[in-house]
Structure 1
Amino acid sequence: MESKELMQLAAQACEDKRGEDIVVMDMQHVSLISDYFLICHGTSERQVQAIARGIKQEAEEKEIEVKRFEGFEHARWILIDLDDVVCHIFHEDERGYYNLERLWGDAPTYTFQDIAPDQV
């Protein structure tokens, strides 16, 4: 699966679990870490965990290796490394504090509506 399709799969999984303010950052010309960062947040620990579970389940169903899955227990910032796509699922209280969108401000940024599979 190409990195763009993987990013769309993860973004749709976030949307399906009602992740809020879904943002995708195109990291291809900014960093060697991954092709895309996907960032969203939930309003409770339970929702943050549900979003993370949804992404992990979708990836595993497509036989995509989940390289890292961190932060699930505390559900304040869960990181899911799918190699070409790194997903950051925040609790809404933490998202503004870490402000990854500002930290990686050089990267082109898209909303879920911009990258939804039926839009591309």
Structure 2
Amino acid sequence: MERKAGELVVLDLRGISSATDFFLLGSGSSDTQVRSIAEHIIDELRKEGVRPGHVEGLEGGHWVLVDYIDFVVHVFHPQARSFYQLEGLWGDAPRHDLEDAPPGR
């Protein structure tokens, strides 16, 4: 199963929201892929000692929200991402597209 998320975007909410500092948004092509991406993020961060404060939507897989307090990960099915339009809702937030970012070490 390919776990690679598409359309990766970071929204910098510092100074805009008191709830969190960053949103990381990504998309999967199916509910199964959305769940797989979210589970992979949870597992990898847990290995580093980072545990989510809250997880929503993992059962359904259409939109999974993983709240790490300082940052929130949103993994969407494309239809859900289009419907909820978080990028538009938080249009004042500085946006960083990660699609063209160099790979990590």
Q: Provide the TM-score with structure 2 as the length reference.
A: 0.90
Query: 2-side partners of 1:36 and 1:101: how far apart?
Result: 12
Structure 2: segments with no counterpart, 5+ residues:
none
Which residue identity does 1:67 align to in structure 2?
A: G
- Is 1:101 the counterpart of 2:87? The answer is yes
Q: How far has the Cα of 1:54 moved from its partner?
A: 1.0
Report the equivalent of 2:10.
Answer: 24
Extract structure 1 runs of 4+ deviating beyond 2 A.
Answer: 113-118
- The answer to which structure has the higher helix fraction is 1
State the superposition RMSD in angstroms: 1.6
Report the equivalent of 2:48.
Answer: 62
Query: 2-side partners of 1:18 and 1:97: how far apart?
Result: 22
Structure 1: segments with no counterpart, 5+ residues:
1-15
Query: 2-side partners of 1:27 and 1:116: how far apart?
Result: 24
Query: 1-side partners of 2:71 and 2:45: how far apart?
Result: 11
Is this contact kept in 1: 2:12–2:22, CA < 8 A? yes
The number of residue pairs the alignment matches comes to: 103
Query: 2-side partners of 1:17 and 1:100: how far apart?
Result: 22
Identity %: 35
Q: Provide the TM-score with structure 1 as the length reference.
A: 0.80
Q: How far has the Cα of 1:88 moved from its partner?
A: 0.6
